[in-house]
Structure 1
């Protein structure tokens, strides 16, 4: 008991003699550490991310040109990744048509505007001798229709006939006018003759020895004037009938002219459309033609004159200007945090991000329904998220990556930058609940 008391007294003595400066430094260190922890917990932000698989695609995919016929290949574009314009011939499968002639006619047909170009000018642009192989009949049918149209407008037969008839009508109207003037004079003479006849008839025939002779003379004069009036009336009626017939001929000519012009127009347009359709069919059968501006990519090793089989994909056209975007398959877990305009960090498998950096983008749209994706392990539900890449394939290391379709990688969608201390309290709140 005595020994135990002695130890307690010694322990108390040691405690009583503990240095106060050390205690103060320990307390101060704890306070400073706690303050720094709170400060850095407030300053440091750790992004809350949702991760999914991404594929880089373009709005206009590469277009593959497939051989639609079997034969030897005539290359017009000799180099891979050579720039071509829309409608330009890249290669042709050899056939009986002249490529130069076919391109010339195809360009002329595409530029035809029947409303703005005079037919004579249009006729002069199409050659009489040309080699178009299997579509020669369609070309010469169109050329014949075009010539017929030009000849019709040059000769202008119906207009000349209508002009002659109209001129005849004007002359007949003048004849009627003159006949009406003559008719008026004849009627005046008839009235005078009739007046003298009545006067002679009213005289006493016993007092005039030559009564009968003179009366007969007056009757003859009167009848002659009546006949003159009748003749003039008959001439006026006949002329008016001729004018009516002329107007009828004008109407008939107008109908015939419209029918003729309609037939010529139909013939020209039908042969034009037939030629255009046959040129398109010929191009589809024999020609590898650029559907848009871009670069030619050879899909296999080929040489001029090489034999190709129908159905073989020979060329690819990479669009010159294209809009690159990403498509993310995001699992449903945590997908509700993702909002439009959320920042996206893209790391591509072909370009390790530690060496090339990552690409920045943002969420442009989120699908409203899920899609089922089968994996080796299980089946998961995913949302399709479109990602805009404002800087294209330029990374944070200022590297411009080469575009290849279906580039794969991971997409970290930053849904919120959260402070470290908030995450700590989130865990405490979760534990307390």
Structure 2
């Protein structure tokens, strides 16, 4: 029996309504789930944050960095006085290179010359004595210089022991003192004579008045004039004696100055001889001794052992000062440069030391240049708080100018902020 059309349409509408109408509980649950997922995403985007990385090129430098110790001449290393990774002091002898001279004798002579120089500088040249030259018979290439110095030393000691300078100076000083006393005596005599002359002048003036009044005879006036003239002569003679005494005293002072100058020249000549020999010894030491140039810890640059041949200008040791100051220069482009701040961490990966094997070195930004070094690059100074020790506890050998790639860890930024900035950037670029 066929179904009526009207009934079929009514049933179709009922089915359609049943199919299209979603239950209210599903609508509510779905909305809650979607809202929860969106909230979780937003919350996660707010919680999750990580920094940007600004990259640049790094070049190593430093202050108070390890210094290399090199040979000045070629030759065999005959004595080694230090071990690897041991402390040394400035001026310490690290090794002997072969020489025709006995190293100990040369060093002993150098010490003796230093003591002589100090003695002369302190004015105690009278205490200088000739050494026992039997202890200095193996001086090799320095022998001629030592012989020349020995002759000067004998002359200087003879001059000092002869006491000529001291005696002559004492005599001159005594003569000057005597002349000074004589000058004072002559001055006192002149004062008396001047007074006597003044009295004679007054007497003669009185006699002139009396003679003009015809109270005395002309002969008495002549006698008064004779007495006046006799008083003038001693006074003039005293003046001449005083002038002569002053001249003689100045002459003695001149002799004393010349004597002092002669002694100074003699002393200076001997000091020059001392310095000449010390200079020759220093030249010898530069060639045949390896000496520490500073305090620190010595490291062998290569295999070092006695009887080993070393070439001229060969690096033998490195000496690290007690406090090393390593730093570097980082060149950054203008891209993201505004994110860089003082105090931020820098990850330094040296090209010569693969970071996968050796690890990276940590640094801190200490200074940012206000002006670019050229049109596009800015200079950033980086300190290395842990020196050249990597995070894997490997030590990188210092080489000035060693290059590396650097990554600056900037401030953390939330993921939500990044999404927002990217959306704003996309809108702005449309």
TM-score (norm 2): 0.72
| Of 302-311 and 128-137, the range deviating more from structure 2 | 128-137
| Counterparts of residues 173-192 of structure 1 (less than 5 Å) | 173-174=184-185, 177=188
CA separation of 1:138 and 1:315: change in aligned 2, threshold 3 A:
farther
TM-score (norm 1): 0.71
Matched, 1:71 2:71: no
Matched, 1:359 2:370: no
CA separation of 1:279 and 1:254: change in aligned 2, threshold 3 A:
same
Partner in structure 2 of residue 167 of structure 1: 178
Partner in structure 1 of residue 412 of structure 2: 417
| Of 227-236 and 274-283, the range deviating more from structure 2 | 227-236
Contact kept? 1:347, 1:353, Cα under 8 Å:
no
Shift of 1:24: 1.2
Matched, 1:236 2:238: yes
Secondary structure of 1:119's aligned partner? coil
| Of 61-70 and 171-180, the range deviating more from structure 2 | 171-180
- Count matched residues: 404
Separation in 1 of the partners of 2:120 and 2:26? 103
Shift of 1:300: 2.9
CA separation of 1:114 and 1:355: change in aligned 2, threshold 3 A:
closer
CA separation of 1:49 and 1:35: change in aligned 2, threshold 3 A:
same
Separation in 2 of the partners of 1:293 and 1:76? 18
Shift of 1:125: 8.9
Q: Any unmatched runs of 5+ in structure 1?
A: 204-214, 372-380
Matched, 1:318 2:328: no
Separation in 1 of the partners of 2:184 and 2:23? 145
Secondary structure of 2:64's aligned partner? coil
| Counterparts of residues 6-405 of structure 1 (less than 5 Å) | 6-7=11-12, 9-16=14-21, 18-54=22-58, 58-104=62-108, 106=110, 118-120=122-124, 123-124=127-128, 127=131, 129=133, 131=136, 134=142, 135-136=145-146, 140=150, 143=153, 147=157, 155=166, 157-171=168-182, 173-174=184-185, 177=188, 232=234, 236=238, 239-264=241-266, 266-268=268-270, 270-328=272-330, 330=332, 333-335=335-337, 337-346=339-348, 350=353, 359-366=362-369, 368-370=372-374, 385-392=380-387, 400-405=393-398
Secondary structure of 1:291's aligned partner? coil
| Of 55-64 and 287-296, the range deviating more from structure 2 | 55-64
CA separation of 1:225 and 1:163: change in aligned 2, threshold 3 A:
same
Contact kept? 2:189, 2:238, Cα under 8 Å:
no
Secondary structure of 2:124's aligned partner? helix
CA separation of 1:263 and 1:163: change in aligned 2, threshold 3 A:
same
Q: How big is each residue's C-alpha offset from its partner over 1:16-75, in whole Å with a ceiling of 9 and x where there is no partner?
A: 3x3322221211111122122222222221211112354555423432222222333232
Shift of 1:161: 0.7
Secondary structure of 2:26's aligned partner? helix
Q: Any unmatched runs of 5+ in structure 2?
A: none
Separation in 2 of the partners of 1:421 and 1:142? 90
Secondary structure of 2:30's aligned partner? helix
Separation in 1 of the partners of 2:69 and 2:265? 40
Separation in 2 of the partners of 1:101 and 1:186? 80
Shift of 1:243: 0.8
